[in-house]
Amino acid sequence: MIRKSIYLIICNLLFFSKITSAKSVLDVISNNKDLTTFNLYLEKTGLDRVLEKKLPWNWTIFAPSNKAFKEAPEMLKNEILNDEFFSKNILMDHIMTGHKTSLDIDEKVTTQITVSNKPLQMYKSRNLFVKDMVVVKENLIGDNGVVHMIDCIMYVQPSSEDERLTKEIVEQYPITSCCMHSEAEINSFKKATKNRF
C-alpha cells in the first residue's frame, strides 16, 4: 500500500512538473542569450503580450539574432527600429501563424502567412532558408509554436520591387523576402507600410 502511494505521488509530481515546465515561444525567446535584442523589441512594441496569449493556433517565428541587430545598417536602426510604428510592423513580418519546423519544409516551396498578412515562401536546401536568409538555429520548440533564429532582419516585399529577380520569378512568386540592407529597401518598406494603414 505504501509502495503504491509513493508511486502515485511520483507520477503526480512528474505530471505536474511537465505542466509547469512547459515553455511558450516567448519563453524560448526570452531565455535565449542570442535573442535578447529581439526580445526587447517584442516588449517595446507589445508583441510579447500577443505571443503569451492562449490562442487556438501556434506560431512560427523567424527571430533575428543579436548579431543581426548589431550588423543592421544605421539607417535601419534609426528610421525603422527606433520608430514604434515601423518597428512593430517589421517584427510582424517575422511572426507567422501555424507551426513549421524544418521537418515540415523540404525542397518544394511552401507558403506561410505573416502576422502582417504577407505570404512568405520558404524552402529547405540542407538548411532551412527564407529566400536568401539562412536559419542559423532551427526548431527551438515551445508549447505554442517554434522559433527559428535567422542571421538578419527580414524584409518581405512585392517581388516586382526586387530588381534582382527575373520576370518569371516575379510572376511565380508575387511576394519575396530578403535581408534588409539597402536604403532603397528601407524606404520601400516605410512607404509600403504607411500606405497599408
Which pLDDT value is given to residue 131? 54
Residue with the three cell numbers 511572426: 95
Q: Is residue 11 part of a domain?
A: no
| Nearest-angstrom CA–CA distance, 180 and 91 | 12
Q: Is residue 3 part of a domain?
A: no
Q: Is residue 16 part of a domain?
A: no
Which pLDDT value is given to residue 53? 79
Q: What is the pTM of this model?
A: 0.75
Whole-angstrom CA distances from 165 to 6, 17, 125, 178, 181 are: 66, 51, 19, 12, 16
Q: Is residue 154 part of a domain?
A: yes
Of 4 and 120, the one with more pLDDT: 120
Give the DSSP per-residue string, 113-152. Answer: EBTTS-EEEEEEESEEEETTEEEEEEEEEETTEEEEEESS
CB 133 within 8 A of CB 154: yes
Q: Enter the C-alpha cell of residue 62.
A: 523567424
Categorize the per-residue pLDDT at 86 as very low, low, confident or very high, splitting at 50, 70 and 90. very high
Q: What is the pLDDT of residues 127-184, one digit of tens each?
A: 444 455 667 787 888 888 889 899 889 887 777 777 767 787 777 766 667 788 889 8
Q: Is residue 17 part of a domain?
A: no
Q: Is residue 12 part of a domain?
A: no
| Domain ranges, residue 137 | 22-196
Provide the domain count of the chain. 1
Q: What is the pLDDT of residues 3-24, one digit of tens each?
A: 444 444 444 444 443 443 468 9
Q: Is residue 98 part of a domain?
A: yes
Q: Is residue 137 part of a domain?
A: yes
Q: Which amino acid is at 190?
A: K
Categorize the per-residue pLDDT at 196 as very low, low, confident or very high, splitting at 50, 70 and 90. confident
The DSSP letter of residue 153 is -
Question: What CATH number is given to the structural domain containing 165?
Answer: 2.30.180.10
Q: What is the pLDDT of residues 35-83, one digit of tens each?
A: 999 999 999 999 999 888 777 678 889 999 999 999 999 999 999 999 9
Which pLDDT value is given to residue 192? 83
